[in-house]
């Protein structure tokens, strides 16, 4: 009697599990939501995640939120509506995105965050982010070394709502501020943007021609800065970026930008898809929600090995 009841229960639970695992309206779909692909970093994430998802037999839905939290919220609705089994998300702000990820969770869709954290745990299944502080320290150490531990410099900051802008700036200053002969003459946000990096650099240079270095919170801003410096005939200014894009690699090889810090964007996105796949199949998340991926310094010594946010041996 007991055995029968247990069996019935098990069968019932099994049917339930099947029912939730395979709704009729969706073949297994993974939504991949990132900021705009104009920045090659976000494009590499989307491409990496998509490639891994397809290898594992999923369909993908690629969406961009353009760093707009309202748009992100609508895209989450779209993913839920399309019956996505998981969302891979590079989010639009560490505070503003908490509600969006919670909404997906409430609708039974697990989120796997990449690149940027949210200021909450227990809502996403994973948060796989670059160790921005460790990376920023590597970049700052190289910057200080190239500057001979002294000189006037400019810092270009990322978008303020993005935690990564703050943490990179902190990593830079925790190193640079230890050198009393390093003097920051200007610090402005260029919102991760290449065009803003160019225009801000142009303006700063007019007010402060006596600069020896520029440290930027990402590669696109560094690309903007080096273009403005070169346009002004200032080939002597040391520029350091962050991300490890192919554009900066090429600039390093051509003697433009001096260094950057590689974030393993491609590997990170693939890892998130692997964890999503495991979660979909077994219901189990990783041992730790928040996972840090170490960054690697890129300069003229190893720029040759860099390709699409990954370092070849």
Q: Which residues bind other proteins (CB under 8 A)?
A: 94, 117, 119, 121, 128-129, 131-134, 137, 141, 149, 163, 166-167, 170-171, 174-175, 178-179, 264, 286-294
Nearest residue (CB) to other proteins, 67 versus 117:
117
Q: Minimum Å distance from CB 203 to other proteins? A: 29
The nearer residue to other proteins, 280 or 292, going by C-beta atoms, is 292
* Closest approach of other proteins to the CB of residue 136, in Å: 9
**Residue partners of 211: CB distance under 8 A and separation at least 6:** 151, 152, 153, 154, 185, 204, 205, 237
Burial of 232 (0-12, 13-18, 19+ CB in 10 A): middle
Closest to 46 measured CA to CA, from 208, 261, 249, 265? 265
Alpha carbon 249 to chain centroid distance?
Answer: 18
Closest CA to 261 of 128, 163, 130: 130
State the Cα angle at 267 between 266 and 268, rounded to 5°: 90
Smallest distance, other proteins to C-beta of residue 96, A: 14
In the complex, what is the shortest distance from the CB of residue 312 to other proteins, in angstroms, rounded to a whole number? 14
Beta strands at 86-89 and 111-114: parallel, antiparallel or unpaired:
parallel
| Strands of 213-216's sheet in order across | 182-189, 151-157, 213-216, 238-240
In the complex with other proteins, the residue whose CB is nearer, 94 or 246, is 94
Nearest to 153 by CA among 164, 135, 139: 139
Q: At closest approach, how far in Å is the CB of 144 from other proteins?
A: 8
Least separation in angstroms between residue 241's CB and other proteins is 19
Q: Which is nearer to other proteins, 137 or 220 (CB)?
A: 137
Q: Please, which residue, 80 or 99, has the CB nearer to other proteins? A: 99
Q: Which of residues 149 and 160 has its CB atom nearest to other proteins in the complex?
A: 149
- Quote the least distance from Cβ 16 to other proteins, whole Å: 30
Nearest to other proteins of 96, 232 (CB atom): 96
> Which of 156, 159, 251 has its CA nearest to residue 204?
156
CA nearest neighbour of 293 among 265, 258, 256, 261 = 265
For residues 228 and 209, the answer to whether their CB atoms sit within 8 Å is no
């Amino acid at each position: 009697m007991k055995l029968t009841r247990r069996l019935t229960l098990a069968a019932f639970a099994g049917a339930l599990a099947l029912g939730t695992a395979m709704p009729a309206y969706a073949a297994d779909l993974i939504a991949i939501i990132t900021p705009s692909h104009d920045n090659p970093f976000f494009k590499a994430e989307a491409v990496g995640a998509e490639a891994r998802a397809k290898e594992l037999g999923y369909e993908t839905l690629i969406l961009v939120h353009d760093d707009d939290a309202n748009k992100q919220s609508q895209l989450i609705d779209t993913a839920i509506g399309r019956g996505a089994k998981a969302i891979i998300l590079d989010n639009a702000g560490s505070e503003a995105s908490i509600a969006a990820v919670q909404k997906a969770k409430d609708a039974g869709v697990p989120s796997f965050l990449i690149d940027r954290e949210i200021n909450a745990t227990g809502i996403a299944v994973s948060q796989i982010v670059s160790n921005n502080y460790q990376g920023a320290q590597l970049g700052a150490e190289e910057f200080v070394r190239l500057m001979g531990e002294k000189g006037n410099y400019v810092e270009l900051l990322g978008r303020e709502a993005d935690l990564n802008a703050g943490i990179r700036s902190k990593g830079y200053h925790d190193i640079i501020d230890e050198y009393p002969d390093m003097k920051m003459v200007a610090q402005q946000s260029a919102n991760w943007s290449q065009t803003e990096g160019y225009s801000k650099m142009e303006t700063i240079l007019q007010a402060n021609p006596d600069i020896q270095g520029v440290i930027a919170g990402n590669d696109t801003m560094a690309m903007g800065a080096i273009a403005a410096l070169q346009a002004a005939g200032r080939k002597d200014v040391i520029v350091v970026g962050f991300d490890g894009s192919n554009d900066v690699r090429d600039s390093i090889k051509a003697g433009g930008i001096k260094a950057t810090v590689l974030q393993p964007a491609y590997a990170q996105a693939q890892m998130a898809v692997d964890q999503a796949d495991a979660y979909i199949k077994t219901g189990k998340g990783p041992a730790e929600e928040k996972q840090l991926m170490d960054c690697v310094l890129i300069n003229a010594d190893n720029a040759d090995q860099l390709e699409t946010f990954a370092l070849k041996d």
